[in-house]
């Protein structure tokens, strides 16, 4: 096996090895990189995803037979520069600049993008942007310069042709979006490898939402990513599964592009290697185990039973992280945002292409999470992790802005699991609450 399979960055390996031809011609085998399974589609145990997978595999053969038919055509209207950024990256130029600056600070890698020709093939334009249903094609060249020990500055460049089919409103994607791109990457003097990627998923007001499917297929192998996005006021939670052929190679969770929760890689065996991360840093298993409630507890109590557990005031011993409107209390948002922002030193792995963000350099789906990390990093630089509680205004302010409370940790644990266990914000509500009230951990453990 070549030095393609590093232990903790299976997803990064997946892309870099694909681009270098490593997957196409492996010199050995391992669990993840097995020739017997590398060109077999995975069983996704989801009828909708399985149908989508079949459709995209069939479409891949059609595209491969005549790629120019998908990346060329007559323009119905000219796209502005902003329109070209949208159809190439699903983002604005300012968003991409923020992301690249964040990566440079975290990893030292400098990235530049040169846009090529972009045009709308179907649909209407409004101020140079797609408006309503559309089909568009674009292209760009991306160069990344990195300091490599023993080699000095090394620049890698690839060119990409793109096709996007979807709908836009007010300059952002809104609705189902299909994205195709052809990536051409140098692998030697006058030698290039071309790889096709297809992506499909839902955008709501410019943000990836729900499940997004990504397929990369070559002659001898295929790779699949499934990303599920759930949004909260402080950012985006994403759970991801990554496959090489039919085998699951990485499975994990992130918050704003930073590994956050259980992350497992299956490079050497089906048993995998599982690591708990808390905002990019390895953490004790307990920090991850308590973030997902037992399914038997979620929704298990009636409203009358829930009412017996909670006080409708702020005079209990334990303050609720949720308000009576079933939204996170503002002080919880503040703590989460500050904690995210204060992880600047530990997110280099994610920014470089760690297990949950490996496709972000090439695939628009996933950029939103890293972009949120880039923005929140600025907040953290100003405030800092140790000042998180102080940033809320202190305990008096926390109590003043809470309208639910509990008399016991057991009541609080049961209420949170039953009432909010299915919420995208549950994990952070529990994380902040157990930091404030360490005895809550023991109460939560009783349910497992």
Taking each helix axis from N to C end, the angle separating 330-341 and 367-383, rounded to the nearest 10 degrees, works out to 90
Q: Return the DSSP state at 405.
A: E
Q: pLDDT at position 334, please?
A: 81
Q: Could you tell me how many helices (H) and strands (E) the chain has, helices first?
A: 15, 17
Out of 18-22, 380-384, 399-403, give the one with best mean pLDDT: 399-403
Answer whether residue 65 shows pLDDT above 60.
yes
Beta bridge partners of 108: none
Answer whether residue 389 shows pLDDT above 60.
yes
224 falls within a domain: yes
433 falls within a domain: no
345 falls within a domain: no
Name the nearest CA neighbour of 159 among 117, 201, 122, 98: 117
For the chain, percent of residues with pLDDT exceeding 90: 42
CB 86 within 8 A of CB 171: yes
Answer whether residue 242 shows pLDDT above 50.
yes
341 falls within a domain: no
> What average pLDDT does the chain have?
80
CA 211 to chain centroid, in Å, comes to 11
440 falls within a domain: no
Q: pLDDT at position 59, please?
A: 95
Tokens of 406: 């509990």
Tokens of 367: 């950029």
83 falls within a domain: yes
Q: pLDDT at position 58, please?
A: 94
Q: pLDDT at position 237, please?
A: 87
Q: pLDDT at position 341, please?
A: 55
Q: pLDDT at position 423, please?
A: 92
Q: Cα dist. 390→235, 314, 328, 396 in Å? A: 21, 19, 18, 11
- Segment 289-334, tens digit of pLDDT: 888 898 899 999 999 999 999 999 999 999 999 999 999 998 888 8
- Using CA atoms in the order 343, 348, 353, 355, what is the torsion angle rounded to 10 degrees? -60
125 falls within a domain: yes
Q: How many domains does the chain have?
A: 1
CB 228 within 8 A of CB 211: yes
143 falls within a domain: yes
Domain boundaries, position 204? 10-289
Considering the entire predicted model, what is its pTM? 0.79
Confidence band, pLDDT 50/70/90 cuts, at residue 250: confident
């Amino acid at each position: 096996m070549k030095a393609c399979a590093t232990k903790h960055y299976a997803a990064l390996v997946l892309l870099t090895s694909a681009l270098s031809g490593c997957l196409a011609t492996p010199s050995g085998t391992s669990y993840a990189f097995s020739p017997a399974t590398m060109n077999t589609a995975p069983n996704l145990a989801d009828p909708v995803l399985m149908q989508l997978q079949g459709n995209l595999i069939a479409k891949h053969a059609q595209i491969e037979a005549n790629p120019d038919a998908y990346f060329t055509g007559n323009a119905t209207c000219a796209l502005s520069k902003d329109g070209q950024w949208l159809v190439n990256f699903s983002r604005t130029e300012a968003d991409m600049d923020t992301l690249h600056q964040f990566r440079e600070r975290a990893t030292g890698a400098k990235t530049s993008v040169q846009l090529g020709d972009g045009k709308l093939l179907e649909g209407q334009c409004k101020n140079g942007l797609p408006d309503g249903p559309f089909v568009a094609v674009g292209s760009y060249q991306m160069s990344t310069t990195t300091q490599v020990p023993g080699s000095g500055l090394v620049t890698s460049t690839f060119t990409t042709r793109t096709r996007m089919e979807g709908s836009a409103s007010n300059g952002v994607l809104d609705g189902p979006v299909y994205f195709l791109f052809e990536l051409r990457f140098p692998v030697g003097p006058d030698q290039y490898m071309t790889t096709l990627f297809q992506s499909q998923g839902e955008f709501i007001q410019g943000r990836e939402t729900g499940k997004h499917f990504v397929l990369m297929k070559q002659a001898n192998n295929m790779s699949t990513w499934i990303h599920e996005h759930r949004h909260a006021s402080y950012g985006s939670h994403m759970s991801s599964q990554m496959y090489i052929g039919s085998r699951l190679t990485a499975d994990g969770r992130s918050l704003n592009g930073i590994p956050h929760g259980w992350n497992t890689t299956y490079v050497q065996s089906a048993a995998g290697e599982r690591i708990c991360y808390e905002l990019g840093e390895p953490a004790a298993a307990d920090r991850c185990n308590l973030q997902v409630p037992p399914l038997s507890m979620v929704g298990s109590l009636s409203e009358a039973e829930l009412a017996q557990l909670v006080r409708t005031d702020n005079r209990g011993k334990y303050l609720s992280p949720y308000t009576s409107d079933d939204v996170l209390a503002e002080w919880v948002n503040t703590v989460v945002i500050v904690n995210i922002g204060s992880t600047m030193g530990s997110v280099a792995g994610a920014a470089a292409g760690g297990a949950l963000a490996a496709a972000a350099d090439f695939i628009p789906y996933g950029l939103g999470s890293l972009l949120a990390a880039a923005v929140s990093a600025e907040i953290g630089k100003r405030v800092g992790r140790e000042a998180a509680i102080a940033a809320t205004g202190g305990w008096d302010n926390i109590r003043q802005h809470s309208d639910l409370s509990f008399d016991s940790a057991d009541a609080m644990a049961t209420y949170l699991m039953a009432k909010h266990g299915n919420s995208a914000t549950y994990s952070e509500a529990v994380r902040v609450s157990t930091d404030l009230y360490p005895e809550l951990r023991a109460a939560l453990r009783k349910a497992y």
